[in-house]
Amino acid sequence: MLDARFVRENVQVVRDALRRRGYEIELGGFVSLEEQRRAIIREVENLRNRRNVVSDEIGRLKKGGGDASGLIAEMKSVSERIKALDEDLKDVDARIREFLLNLPNIPHESVPEGRDESDNPEVRRWGEPREFGFEPLNHWDIAESLDIVDFDRASKIAGARFSLMKGEGARLERALMNFMLDMNTSKGYKEVFPPILVNRESMTATGQLPKFAPDLFRTADPELYLIPTAEVPVTNIHREEILRESDLPIYYTAYTPCFRREAGSYGKDTRGLIRQHQFNKVELVKFVRPEDSYDELEGLTRDAEEILQRLGLHYRVVVLCTGDLGFSAAKTYDIEVWLPGQGRYREISSCSNFEDYQARRADIRFRREEKKGTDFVHTLNGSGLAIGRTVVAILENYQQEDGSVVIPEALRPYMGVEVIR
RNA sequence: GGAGAGGUGGCCGAGUGGUUUAAGGCGGCGGUCUCGAAAACCGUUGUGGGGGCGACUCCACCGGGGGUUCGAAUCCCCCCCUCUCCGCCA
């Protein structure tokens, strides 16, 4: 969420910034709500001050045996007026908050201008696409012939966009989870295993609610939400906390299943493991000082890239343009792995700096050593990595002409086998 | 699911209708003393918001939300969370 005072005082700046992302937003109504809010506060606080002073007076009068009935009558009407103003204030506050919750973050100045995915500039690439002496297969053909993923039975059990991993497939999923967590913890990320059902407050804090409710799975009673990413519970670890400057930066890594409705993506990636309602992911989350957050974004992205490097998977890094940037993010790098079966790069990690946008919604602050008051932290997160898509990448990049799949060197201690055949 | 106990400032802990503008202690910070330190003593100590150029001033916050009252940390109602016991359960 953006700072109300900042928006009010920089209407032009905010409108232009949001236009760069493709949002046309009228801010006049907001500014007048803010004026209303302050007018109500001025009046109600004056009345409260009067009530405090007079109530004290009434107490003294009564103690001394005096007559306070006139003052009591006056205060009765003052209290009624306060009550009415409080109602108005609550209403105005709610409207202000709703407006702000639906405003996206402002892109960082280094984010390139663009309309959509096709305008995302490539920043760098690592490795080379492997040369095949045969026609490489799609991962779902590889997986089904090796009998390590069963899509038909998964759809019997749960429906479309679910998968049943079997044998070495299930083992591969588990091996990747452990490999990634071990790499991340060795770099100083603290491993956590959070709840995967969360409450509405947590979903609001990271920006999924209220705007993206249709993308989420929700339980009926009690009302809880299945997390679409570990970003949600892990960022909420420090919701409504004031951290010490010396605690920062804080790094977490978490493995969780993730759940997404994928509403509006009918017909996209209907085959295979790319787009599932349930998938596994290892996430990286950082809480940092504002002045460090862009260096920390570079570091976070490199940490995610290193996992692909250790797995020997060719990839490229793109920076999301203004039109493709996620709602809460100020800047995002996507890491796209090369998939020879599809002949294209696919997103396998998305690393973002949210600046203070989530911290303000979640009320995560820190106290500086040499300064009074508090500042909002900056939050960042990125996949390190999406496990299902890593399985896809390994199957497609390490396939052999005979249909077997070689296990990357770094993963063998976790897999126990060198080849799936 | 049932019964009970509890939730007060960074921490501990008093406070059951009006000098509590939340006692007292611990911790933190500053100072006095000291060669230096400890001890002792003195002072200070949160968050958010409104108004003012400013010294400053006002309002709110005792788990959350309602209510009673001129006035609520304190009384009433609902909810959340923690702990103990019982039941159930991986």
Residues 354-393 of A with CB under 7 A from strand B: 365, 367, 372-374
For A390-402, what is each residue's pLDDT tens digit? 999 999 999 999 9
Residue A111 in this model has a pLDDT that exceeds 90: yes
Instruction: Name the catalytic one among A43, A174, A347, A367.
Output: A347
pLDDT higher at A26 or A312: A312
pLDDT tens by residue, A203-218: 999 999 999 999 999 9
Q: Give nearest nucleotide to A242 (CA–C1').
A: B47
Stronger pLDDT, A66 or A419, i.e. the higher one = A419
H-helix segments, A372-411? 387-397
pLDDT at A268: 82
A145 vs A421: CA distance, rounded Å: 9
Q: CA-to-C1' distance for A39 and B46, Å?
A: 27
DSSP-derived letter for residue A402 is: T
Region A287-296: mean pLDDT is 95
Mean predicted confidence (pLDDT) in A360-383: 88
pLDDT digits (tens, 9 = 90+) for A114-145: 999 999 999 999 999 999 999 999 999 999 99
- Bridge partners (DSSP) of residue A257 are A280
Nucleotides of B under 7 A from a protein CB: 18, 47-51, 58-60, 66-67, 69-71
Distance A195 CA to B68 C1' (A): 41
pLDDT score of A152: 94
User: Residue A3 contacts by C-beta under 8 Å, 6 or more apart in sequence?
Assistant: A360
Per-residue confidence (pLDDT) for residue A287, from 0 to 100 = 95
Q: Is the peptide bond before A176 cis (omega within 30 degrees of 0)?
A: no
**Residue A288 vs residues A21, A238, A251, A285, A295: alpha-carbon distances, Å:** 25, 12, 9, 10, 10
Burial of A145 (0-12, 13-18, 19+ CB in 10 A): exposed
Q: Is A218 among the residues known to form the active site?
A: no
Residue recorded with tokens 């809460």: A328
Mean of all residue pLDDT scores within chain A? 93
The residue type found at A287 is F
Report phi then psi at A390, rounded to 5.
Answer: -70, -40
pLDDT tens-place string over residues A79-99: 999 999 999 999 999 999 999
* Spatial distance between the Cα atoms of A360 and A377, rounded to a whole number of angstroms: 9
Protein chain A, residues 170-229, with a C-beta closer than 7 Å to any atom of nucleic acid strand B: none
Report the pLDDT value the prediction gives residue A220, as an integer from 0 to 100: 84
Determine whether the distance from the CB of A157 to the nearest atom of strand B is below 7 Å.
no
Q: Is the CB of A243 under 7 A from strand B?
A: no
- pLDDT exceeds cutoff 90 at A189: yes
Mean pLDDT of A374-381: 93
Per-residue pLDDT tens for A231-259?
999 999 999 888 888 888 999 999 999 99
State which residues between 24 and 83 of chain A bring their CB within 7 Å of strand B: 38, 41-42, 44-46, 48-49, 51-56, 58-60, 62, 72, 75-76, 78-79, 83
Per the annotation, the verdict on A118 as an active-site residue is no
State the pTM of this model. Answer: 0.93
The rounded distance, in Å, linking the Cα atoms of A64 and A42 is: 34
Which has the closest alpha carbon to A344: A376, A304, A392? Answer: A392
- Prediction ipTM score: 0.86
